[in-house]
Amino acid sequence: MKERITGSEALMRSLVNEGVEILFGYPGGAIMPTYDALYDHKTDLHHILVRHEQGAVHAAQGYARVSGKVGCAIVTSGPGAMNTVTGIADAMIDSTPMVVICGQVGAAMLGTDAFQEVDVIGVTQPITKWAFQIRNAEDVAWAVSRAFYIAKSGRPGPVVLDFAKNAQTGMVDYEPAKVDFIRSYRPVLSPSEETIRKAAEMINNSVKPLVLVGQGVELGDAREELRTFIEKADMPAGCTLLGLSALPSDHPLNMGMLGMHGNLAPNVMTNQCDLLIAVGMRFDDRVTGNLATYAKQAKIIHFDIDPSEIDKNVKTDLAVVGDCKDTLARVTALLDKQSHEAWKAGFAPYRDREEKKVIEPALHPMEGPLLMGEVVRAVSEATENKAVLVTDVGQNQMFGCRYFKFNEGRSVVTSGGCGTMGFGLPAAIGATFGAPERKVCLFVGDGGLQMTIQELGTIMEQRAPVKIILLNNNYLGNVRQWQYMFFDKRYSFTPMLNPDYEQIASAYNIPACTVTERKDLAGAIDEMLRTEGPYLLQCAVMEEDNVLPMTPPGANVDEMLLEVK
Amino acid sequence: MNNDKSKAGQCGDCNTCGKCEPGHEGETLYTMLIYSENYAGILNQITAVFTRRQVNIESLNVCASSTPGVHKYTITCYCDEPMAKMLTKQIEKKIDVLQANYFTDDEIFILEACLIKVSTPLILENKNVSRIVRMHGARIVEVNPTYSIIEKKGMTEDILSLFHTLNEIGVVLQFVRSGRIAVTKSRIEKLDRYLEERELSRNS
């Protein structure tokens, strides 16, 4: 039965229809009719007022990443919408399902440079899966349903709905819409039996296979399928930054993290394997290093849901385009049970070398100031490796991802492709809503924290139980490391004078503590985890620590530096 | 019909023949045939893919296709084959794009048109002009005391050859060349097949 309601009310009902429970947002002029409608939906739509629109999108991303649901942000036109742009680009490159609804001036005023009018569609089209302007109330139900279908299907991504004010106030005979088919859009292709058979044959014939595990495995909810796949053919695997929790850290076939600051063994062995099997990863330059020398000796199979990823960076011998939950299972069924003992044993010397040269000194230093690595590992162990890791960007991110351990899926929330400083704090807020039953631990530097520090206000208001571990080194540490290594130690604007973070936390009514001595670390972490709600643990870490190992930019994947000269 | 254009860059005569352009040696002139839903803003999304990969569009034509509600884009550009493949895949990834394929000149029938506005007093002075027009199979479609208009349909190189010849004798006032239009030589209509397939999966 149709009911005559406003476009704004139609939006509320459409969101509820799509299963939305939580919205992160910030009101403003051009979205006021929608906020007025929201006032009557306080029971079915929980709106979280952030302190800046960038916070809304990153929170929606954090929510989506841990829950697997579509994150939703709602902001006003012009500056409100523009403040979401970084988060939208971040969600696009990291394949995060998100719908951003922004107000827009009335259709009659479009293109007249009206107050707070920005061409949002023009700006966001290149960084969204779909961007659509709702110009009349009749389109609301259809557009919202289409937006959610596009955001979550196939390779997920962000969608922008630019909601003109006249469409918010206009009346419509509302009828729920359900879009689950778009003829120009085939979100998931299914590879032929021939392709599946060929993939299995290549794997069965390989004596030195290496699997690269990407976030696609998490997005496709294919952790079990991946495990069976690698176990049956006894294939060692490395994980990308975003794929870290797709395979338990302590799985015997998990050889560690790939990439510039990943583990030595999987990076070196990439250039020794005879078959490279990439699953749901996109051969980012931070993973491959110099493409001209990358895995040239190996045949390459690429499992991906997105046909445009095939042969984009690395030329593949066989593409298996489809949903890896389906394709991995189909290939696994045709695999011979194998044992690659000799090949696997080849990883050990590299692992031992890294352990001795890098990991041991990072985790168990005998003296000197606190190190980021030991803080990360101590927090991970104190949560029995069950927590959600959220990081900001920089050294905190690399140490966080290197030394945190994972037992469960959907446990890494970090800005991979975009490398957005300031992502961490709001993303962690979103993660607490996406996984309320889990502990959410954020590692953030003194640089990144201050980029979105206003979200402490959101934490205060929501009592969002974010455990903030501030790794304070009084530097923009990652840039400082590069300056040290590649710019002749010229520390151009990387040292930073910091405020008193404990006082800031206290102003926001967030309990806080600072650790400077190694002997106090374990106790402080226990206190943080025991405390209900949010907590800020500031760790005064070594100022000029370097993330190692490192593949210098443009170097070969097997030429990792284990020390900085 | 000159099929050598698919091997652009190998003739070494870049200025007049249209086979290749300086700076495109070793690249091929590809024609992309793209079909999309008739929604606003898709052209922007398509051209942005070229911009991002730093490929210049040589010519572009957009019009309604033979299928109601479907728009056809004919775009030409110089690049190598992996790039042509990547461009079409990234274009096809756009939600409202139905299909994107790339072709070399031997796989399609091509047509371009041009209009050349020339000075009537100057062509009356030059006895060669009418000979040139007839030689090139062009038509004079307008004559008045001030100017005349010559129209020519054909391949890029034929059109450019006519233009360069007239331009050399200094009679040209304006010149405009249309974007390339093309239909495939294939006996299979890929778009129709795609749409039929999609209708089946909609109903299943």
> Is B5 domain-assigned?
no
Token digits for A412?
């890494």
How many A/B residue pairs have CB atoms within 8 Å? 44
Same domain, B99 and B114: no
Q: B92: which chain A residues are within 8 Å (Cβ-Cβ)?
A: 307-308
Who among B48, B82, B85 is closest to A126 (CB)? B48
Cβ–Cβ < 8 Å for B192, B37? no
Q: In sequence order, what are the residues at sequence separation of 6 or more whose Cβ sits closer than 8 angstroms to the Cβ of residue A114?
A: A105
Same domain, B32 and B98: yes
Residue among B95, B97, B192 with most chain A CBs within 10 A, to mutate: B95
Q: A125: which chain B residues are within 8 Å (Cβ-Cβ)?
A: 41, 44-45, 48
* pLDDT for res B21: 63
Chain A residue closest to B36 (CA)? A184
> Is B10 domain-assigned?
no
- Provide the shortest C-alpha distance from residue A122 to chain B (in Å): 9
Are residues B195 and A311, on separate chains, in Cβ contact within 8 Å? no
Same domain, B91 and B64: yes
> Is B139 domain-assigned?
yes
Are residues B198 and A306, on separate chains, in Cβ contact within 8 Å? no
What residue ranges of chain B have pLDDT lower than 70? Answer: 1-22
Per residue in A498-529, pLDDT (tens digit) is: 999 999 999 999 999 999 999 999 999 999 99
Containing H/E element for B44?
helix B42-52
* pLDDT for res B19: 54
> Is B18 domain-assigned?
no
Q: Which of B79, B103, B127 is the last residue of a domain?
A: B103
CA dihedral of residues A119, A123, A129, A131 (deg, nearest 10): 0
Same domain, B118 and B90: no
Reply yes or no on whether the pLDDT at A103 is more than 60: yes
Reply yes or no on whether the pLDDT at A170 is more than 70: yes
Who among B52, B89, B96 is closest to A184 (CB)? B96
Q: What's the CATH code of the domain at B42?
A: 3.30.70.260
| Residue position matching structure tokens 């976030």 | A215
Token digits for B128?
């060669």
> Is B187 domain-assigned?
no
* pLDDT for res B14: 43
* pLDDT for res A298: 98
Q: A291: which chain B residues are within 8 Å (Cβ-Cβ)?
A: none
One-letter amino acid of A287: V
CA proximity to B160, closest of B176, B143, B173: B176
Mean pLDDT for all residues in chain A: 97
Are residues A125 and B44, on separate chains, in Cβ contact within 8 Å? yes
Mean pLDDT confidence for A298-321: 98
> What single string gives the DSSP state of each residue in A24-88?
EE---GGGHHHHHHHGGGTTTSEEEE-SSHHHHHHHHHHHHHHH-SPEEEEE-STHHHHTTHHHH
Per residue in A341-352, pLDDT (tens digit) is: 999 999 999 999
Orientation of helix A324-333 relative to helix A193-204, angle to 10°: 60
Q: In sequence order, what are the residues at sequence separation of 6 or more whose Cβ sits closer than 8 angstroms to the Cβ of residue B47?
A: B57, B60
Q: What's the CATH code of the domain at B165?
A: 3.30.70.1150
Flag whether residue A503 sits within 8 Å of chain B, measured between CB atoms.
Answer: no
Cβ–Cβ < 8 Å for A440, A387? yes
Same domain, B94 and B114: no
Instruction: Work out how many domains chain B is built from and give that number.
Output: 2
> Is B190 domain-assigned?
no
Who among B44, B86, B198 is closest to A183 (CB)? B198
> Is B60 domain-assigned?
yes
Cβ burial, residue A531 (10 Å; 0-12/13-18/19+)? middle
* pLDDT for res B20: 57
Reply yes or no on whether the pLDDT at A2 is more than 70: yes
Are residues A126 and B52, on separate chains, in Cβ contact within 8 Å? yes
Same domain, B57 and B95: yes
Count of H-run helices and E-run strands, chain A: 25, 20
Q: Which of B81, B103, B125 is the last residue of a domain?
A: B103
CA proximity to A91, closest of A416, A440, A391: A416
Are residues B86 and A311, on separate chains, in Cβ contact within 8 Å? yes
Q: From CA A135, how far away is CA A104, in angstroms rounded?
A: 9
> Is B204 domain-assigned?
no
Q: Which of B83, B103, B123 is the last residue of a domain?
A: B103
Q: A183: which chain B residues are within 8 Å (Cβ-Cβ)?
A: 98, 195, 198-199, 202
Cβ under 8 Å to A: B residues 104-133: none
Same domain, B48 and B91: yes
Same domain, B123 and B91: no
- Alpha helices in A413-545, H assignment, sequence order: 424-434, 446-451, 456-462, 477-486, 501-507, 521-530
Same domain, B67 and B37: yes
Residue among A124, A308, A316 with most chain B CBs within 10 A, to mutate: A308
Same domain, B89 and B138: no
Flag whether residue B200 sits within 8 Å of chain A, measured between CB atoms.
Answer: no
Q: B86: which chain A residues are within 8 Å (Cβ-Cβ)?
A: 308, 311-312
Domain containing B156: what range?
110-177
Query: ipTM, 2 decimals?
Result: 0.92
* pLDDT for res B204: 78
pLDDT cut 90: percent of chain A above it: 99
Flag whether residue A291 sits within 8 Å of chain B, measured between CB atoms.
Answer: no
Chain A residue closest to B95 (CA)? A185
Cβ under 8 Å to A: B residues 29-68: 36-37, 41, 44-45, 48, 52
Same domain, B88 and B123: no
What confidence category does residue A54 fall into, taking pLDDT thresholds of 50, 70 and 90? very high
Cβ burial, residue B134 (10 Å; 0-12/13-18/19+)? exposed
Per residue in A322-337, pLDDT (tens digit) is: 999 999 999 999 999 9
State the maximum Cα–Cα separation within chain B, in Å, rounded to a whole number: 72
Output the pTM of the full model: 0.95
Cβ–Cβ < 8 Å for B125, B66? no
Are residues B44 and A150, on separate chains, in Cβ contact within 8 Å? no
Q: In sequence order, what are the residues at sequence separation of 6 or more whose Cβ sits closer than 8 angstroms to the Cβ of residue A371?
A: A362, A363, A365, A541, A542, A545
Same domain, B99 and B122: no
